């Protein structure tokens, strides 16, 4: 078994980024909700709406002086029975915000980020206890690969969720999402065996002639 890449739309969050309607309220597209093509925004309506924007090579999702639960998602066509692993390159910045990030897969392809069906990877961030694998101070110069592994689809689509939460309404709470890679476990196509080519036979024949000529020359 080996890992085979499953196509994801715009996995690196390349431009164009487009303005979208508030995902909770609908209506006209708003500049504060600017998301890379292929991805959809979501947030917790109980909290203030965060903002989405392009920042350098990233999709940035952020708040200021607010508690946020938010992210981006994408539905992806998959094969039933595939075993999926999602790996996403990310970083965050925080000023007194207690930020943590995680990524998840809904094996039923739903679009509700609060669904119990979503299989989440572990939290990584400031709020993970120091000394544990999830502890991470963040910073744009300190990215991490976040993952969730071995998720089995229950439908022809799954949904990828890239999620940020923070504990305190600090001055800055920002997630930066970059490369999202979805893998499935799959058999590698075996290399066709090297057939005995006419060339191999011919080279063998020429080699024997060369040896014979050399033998004659030595005599
Ligand atoms: Ca990128």
* Same domain as 193, residue 106: no
* Same domain as 151, residue 194: no
**CA 198 to ligand 1 center in whole angstroms:** 49
**CA 37 to ligand 1 center in whole angstroms:** 12
* Same domain as 212, residue 178: no
pTM for this predicted structure: 0.84
* Same domain as 194, residue 181: no
* Same domain as 193, residue 167: no
Over the stretch 179-194, which tens digit does the pLDDT of each residue have? Answer: 999 999 976 555 555 6
- Measured from the Cβ of residue 62, the count of other Cβ atoms closer than 10 Å reads 23
**CA 197 to ligand 1 center in whole angstroms:** 46
Number of domains in the chain: 2
65 CB-near residues (< 8 Å, 6+ apart): 169, 170, 171
How far from 73 is each of 33, 87, 113, 134, CA to CA, in Å? 14, 14, 8, 22
Q: What phi and psi values does residue 208 have, to the nearest 5 degrees? A: -65, -40
* Same domain as 66, residue 158: yes
Residue 130: give its domain's CATH number.
2.60.120.260
At 8 the three-state DSSP class reads coil
Q: Are 123 and 100 in contact (CB under 8 A)?
A: yes
* Structural domain containing residue 48: 2-188
Over the stretch 18-67, which tens digit does the pLDDT of each residue have? Answer: 999 999 999 999 999 999 999 999 999 999 999 999 999 999 999 999 99
**CA 178 to ligand 1 center in whole angstroms:** 4
């Amino acid at each position: 078994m080996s890992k085979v890449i499953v196509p994801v739309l715009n996995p690196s969050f390349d431009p164009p980024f487009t303005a979208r309607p508030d995902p909770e309220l609908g209506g006209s597209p708003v500049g504060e909700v600017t998301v890379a093509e292929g991805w959809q925004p979501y947030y917790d309506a109980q909290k203030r709406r965060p903002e989405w924007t392009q920042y350098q090579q990233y999709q940035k999702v952020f708040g200021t002086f607010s508690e946020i639960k938010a992210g981006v998602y994408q539905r992806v066509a998959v094969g039933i029975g595939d075993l999926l692993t999602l790996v996403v390159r990310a970083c965050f910045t925080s000023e007194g915000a207690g930020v943590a990030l995680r990524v998840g897969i809904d094996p039923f392809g739903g679009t509700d980020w609060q669904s119990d069906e979503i299989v989440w990877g572990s939290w990584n961030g400031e709020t993970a206890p120091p000394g544990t694998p999830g502890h991470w101070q963040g910073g744009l110069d300190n990215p991490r690969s976040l993952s969730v592994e071995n998720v089995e689809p229950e439908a022809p689509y799954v949904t990828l969720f890239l999620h940020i939460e923070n504990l305190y309404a600090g001055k800055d709470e920002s997630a930066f999402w970059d490369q999202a890679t979805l893998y499935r476990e799959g058999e590698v196509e075996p290399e066709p065996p090297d057939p005995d080519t006419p060339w191999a036979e011919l080279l063998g024949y020429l080699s024997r002639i060369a040896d014979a000529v050399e033998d004659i020359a030595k005599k």
